[in-house]
Amino acid sequence: MVNYKKHNLDQVFSVLSDPTRRAIIQELSRGEKTVKKMAEPFDMSLPAFTKHLKVLENAGLVSYRKVGKYKYYYLHPKGIDYATNWLNELSSYWKGQLTSLEKYLLDSEENKGGNKNDHNE
Amino acid sequence: MVNYKKHNLDQVFSVLSDPTRRAIIQELSRGEKTVKKMAEPFDMSLPAFTKHLKVLENAGLVSYRKVGKYKYYYLHPKGIDYATNWLNELSSYWKGQLTSLEKYLLDSEENKGGNKNDHNE
DNA sequence: TTTATAGTTAACCATGTAGTTAACTGTAAT
DNA sequence: ATTACAGTTAACTACATGGTTAACTATAAA
């Protein structure tokens, strides 16, 4: 078997793969908000929206504090840092590891508009 | 409606949410490999494995060159950079934007082992 | 005390995803 | 010419996900 650890990268990236949830995160990065306020701009039912919040909560990306009948949600950056770090480490590793063949392939793909050996459109 | 653009962040993060696919990416960051070689360490059928490769391919994260009966896969860093940049921008924005309330909440959550107002476990 | 507001829960539906096995194509080796 | 090997395609299964509506709880306002 391979050396991947499950930690919660699965969860974090999965959370981030939904545009609604990314939008929520971006919104919350501007400050805490109530559920209703956050939900407003989205074209979906409130239950649908709060499901997304639950997903964010379960992944540890947001928390809330309750004030009367309101729930004020705020961002929890640590979970996101996990994902950010994974990608940054990968990127820097990758950038140091390019073989000349790979550099060649990358180059020819970026300069010409297509390459016989490049089957990705 | 909200200002999210769909581009391919959905796809890229969704790709990254699977541990097999992250492992493939890490493996390929060490250099190109054939399908069989990559698949070896994984406890799944070859068709299951090549589906993951297709997913990576469709998201533009890998390409291959064909040599005889072999397909040599290699990494395409641009797609990953997309995701990395999104997260880095978010992170830096977020770090500049903390309100004092949020700072307080974060602090009390990191120092004590739990907080009355923090409903995330 | 009745009504409005914020948010949740439950039951349901449609679609997508990750895996399986079996059968196939194409290239290389005997 | 036959066999072996690398990889794909197809048909199927099980389960997760993202949405819906309807009915509910709890707090606040009239």
Write out pLDDT tens, residues B4-40: 443 488 999 999 999 999 999 999 988 899 999 999 9
Residue with token string 């809330």:
A64
The residue ranking higher by pLDDT, B108 or B113, is B108
| pLDDT range class, residue A98, cuts 50, 70, 90 | low
Parallel/antiparallel/unpaired status of strands B62-67 and B70-75: antiparallel
Residues 12-51 of chain A with CB under 7 A from strand D are 14, 17-18, 20, 43-45, 47-48, 51
Which has more confidence, A63 or B105?
Answer: A63
* Cβ neighbourhood burial of B120 (10 Å; 0-12, 13-18, 19+): middle
Q: Which window residues (81-120, chain A) lie with Cβ within 7 Å of strand D? A: none
The region that residue A68 occupies, defined by phi over 0 for left and psi between -120 and 50 for alpha, beta otherwise, is: left
The reply to whether B70 Cβ lies less than 7 angstroms from strand D is yes
CB A46 within 8 A of CB A39: yes
A66 touches strand C (CB under 7 A): no
B contact test, residue of A30, A90, A121 with most B CBs within 10 A: A90
Single out the residue of A47, A43, A54 nearest to residue A15, CA to CA. A54
| CB count in 10 Å sphere of residue A1 | 7
Whether A50 CB is under 7 Å from strand C: yes
For residues A14-32, give the mean pLDDT: 93
Instruction: Grade residue A105 by pLDDT with cuts at 50, 70 and 90.
Output: very low
Partners of B75 in beta bridges: B62
Judged by average pLDDT, the poorest of A42-51, A77-86, B50-59 is A77-86
Range in A67-71, B42-46, B105-109 with the lowest mean pLDDT = B105-109
Greater confidence (A101 vs B51) lies with B51
Angle subtended at Cα A76 by Cα A42 and Cα B5, rounded to the nearest 5 degrees: 35
H-state helical runs in chain B: 9-16, 19-28, 35-39, 46-58, 77-97, 100-111
